Amino acid sequence: MNHSEQINELASALAKAQGQIEGAKKDKANPFYKSVYADLASVWDACRKPLSDNGLSVTQCPEEADNGIAIETMLLHSSGQWIKSRYTMPVSKLDAQAVGSAITYARRYALSAVVGIAPEDDDGNAAAAAKTAKPKPEQKDKSLPILSNDSFEKKSSVWKRSMEDKGETAENLIAFLQTKYTFTKYQLSIITSWGNENADA
C-alpha cells in the first residue's frame, strides 16, 4: 500500500465514515454454490454516503497484469491526502465476459478492504436464532415395539411401584417408557391415572 506524505486528515475522516458504514447486504444469489453474497452495488450502497459526507472518495482503475487484470484502488480525501493499493486477479480465459467479471470481482473485494466493509453476518444471525428457538419435540421412533395389552398388564405393576417408590410423576414415567415402547391411548390413560392416585393419597 502506498500513501501521501501525510494521511492524518484522511485517517480522521475515514474513522468517522467507518462509524457510519453498515454491513453490505447479501442480496445476490450464487446458484452454483447455492449461497447469497453482497455484490459490488451493495458494497457501494453501504459506503457511498458515509464516505461522501466525510470528504472521502474512491477511484478504481483496471489495468492489464500477467495472466489477468489488476485494480488500483485509491482512497482520496478532500485535503489531497490519499492511500492506494493494487489488487491483481488471474483470468483463465481472456475474453470480454471473463475479464469483465474479474474486474467486478476485484473491485468489490478491493473496495471492501480499503474502506473496511464486511457483509452482513447471515450465518451468525441464523446461529443466534437457532440458540433462541424452542427445540422441536423428539419424534417417536416408529420402529419401537408395540406393547400388547397382556404385556402391559404384566409390566404395569412393576412400573407403578417404581413410580411410587421414586416419587416420579406420570408424565416423566411416560416420557421414559415411550423411548422403549409404543403405547395405545388406553395404556397411557392407565399410567396417567397412577399419578392421580398418588396426588389423592
In the prediction, which pLDDT does 141 show? 47
CA–CA gap between residue 159 and residue 152 (Å, rounded):
10
CA–CA gap between residue 62 and residue 149 (Å, rounded):
81
In the prediction, which pLDDT does 78 show? 97
Residue-by-residue pLDDT tens, the chain, 201 positions:
899 999 999 999 999 999 988 877 666 555 444 455 668 888 888 899 999 999 999 999 999 888 889 999 999 999 999 999 999 988 877 788 888 888 988 998 899 999 988 775 544 444 444 455 555 555 444 567 887 888 888 888 888 887 777 777 778 888 888 888 888 888 888 888 876 665 555
In the prediction, which pLDDT does 128 show? 47
Q: Tell me if 43 sits within 8 A of 117, measured CB to CB.
A: yes
Polymer length in residues for the chain: 201
The whole model's pTM is what? Answer: 0.54
CA–CA gap between residue 113 and residue 150 (Å, rounded):
73
In the prediction, which pLDDT does 135 show? 53
**Ramachandran sector of residue 7 (left: φ over 0; alpha: ψ -120 to 50; beta: rest):** alpha
- In 3-state terms, what secondary structure has residue 73? strand
